[in-house]
């Protein structure tokens, strides 16, 4: 089990000169989940600090308006993909990248595609009535086709490189960057957008999601799917945690008893 979460309001010093990695996060943020997964897969030693995004402590507002962020040796790194690359390239542990040229090309292309895939998925869930990151109504066939067109960028490498992961037999940064959003779309879209991610392209995306879900890192970092769906129903948004206080374990009950110090 990883180190227990500390609660942001108890942290006095945002920066220090030690070699300790402090990971400022929120367990429900998909961008932060990318970093969490990468740290876990890398086997890094780090201290997670849960930031209440609905009531950010003053020291954190001076660092960033968003999560994730990493504090290390007196400096702060933000932007989730940049942090994931820093973890992979700068820390000891196994490389989270393929060794062959075709796999490296696929990884680079998939990471570059992640923003467009995420945007199309968010637009589909918003439909005609929802704000960005909101869950609305009136989803159109055009929105579904646009999302499926970018989602297909995952199916190609899975077929060409043989899976079970996006760049072959081993997990890479492509899987860790894309999984948090695709996981949420797979939970939300069947109910709110009449689209089943898991059965797209003959089930290839569903098989990939299942392979990812079996990994210990994903078992730790993923919210309980039924609780997350209930939160989507209640808040009608994917970023509800930006506006409402949620503890580190509220939708991650498997982490309860391991140092969740936040007030609910």
Residue with tokens 């942001």: 8
Which domains does the chain show, CATH number per domain? 6-95+246-255 (3.40.30.10), 101-221 (1.20.1050.10)
Per-residue pLDDT at 263? 25
Q: CA geometry: angle at 54 spanning 35 and 190, to 5°?
A: 65
Q: Per the omega criterion (within 30 degrees of 0), is the bond before 45 cis? A: no
Per-residue pLDDT at 4? 87
Mean pLDDT by 10 residues, the chain (264 residues): 78 60 97 98 96 93 92 91 97 95 97 98 98 97 98 97 97 98 98 98 98 98 98 98 97 78 29
Residue with tokens 């890479």: 172
Per-residue pLDDT at 262? 35
Per-residue pLDDT at 65? 87
Per-residue pLDDT at 11? 62
> Could you tell me which residues are beta bridge partners of residue 76?
71
Per-residue pLDDT at 18? 65
């Amino acid at each position: 089990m990883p180190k227990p979460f500390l609660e942001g309001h108890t942290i006095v010093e945002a920066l220090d000169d030690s070699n300790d990695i402090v990971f400022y996060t929120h367990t429900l943020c998909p961008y932060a989940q990318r970093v969490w997964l990468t740290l876990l897969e890398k086997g890094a030693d780090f201290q997670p600090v849960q930031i209440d995004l609905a009531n950010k402590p003053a020291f954190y507002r001076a660092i960033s308006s968003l999560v994730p962020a990493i504090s290390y040796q007196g400096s702060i790194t933000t932007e989730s993909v940049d942090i994931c690359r820093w973890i992979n390239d700068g820390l000891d542990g196994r490389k989270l990248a393929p060794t062959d040229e075709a796999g490296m090309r696929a990884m680079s292309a998939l990471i570059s595609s992640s923003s467009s895939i995420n945007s199309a998925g968010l637009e589909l869930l918003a439909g005609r009535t929802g704000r960005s990151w909101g869950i609305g109504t009136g989803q159109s066939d055009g929105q579904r086709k646009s999302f499926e067109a970018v989602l297909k960028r995952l199916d190609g490498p899975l077929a060409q490189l043989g899976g079970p992961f996006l760049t072959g037999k081993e997990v890479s940064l492509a899987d860790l960057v894309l999984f948090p959003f695709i996981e949420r779309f797979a939970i939300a879209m069947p109910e709110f957008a009449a689209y089943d991610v898991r059965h797209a392209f003959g089930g290839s995306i569903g098989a990939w999601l299942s392979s990812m879900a079996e990994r210990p890192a994903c078992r730790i970092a993923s919210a309980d799917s039924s609780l997350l769906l209930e939160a989507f129903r209640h808040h009608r948004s994917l970023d509800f945690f930006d506006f409402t206080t949620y503890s580190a374990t509220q939708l991650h009950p498997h982490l309860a008893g391991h140092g969740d110090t936040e007030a609910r």
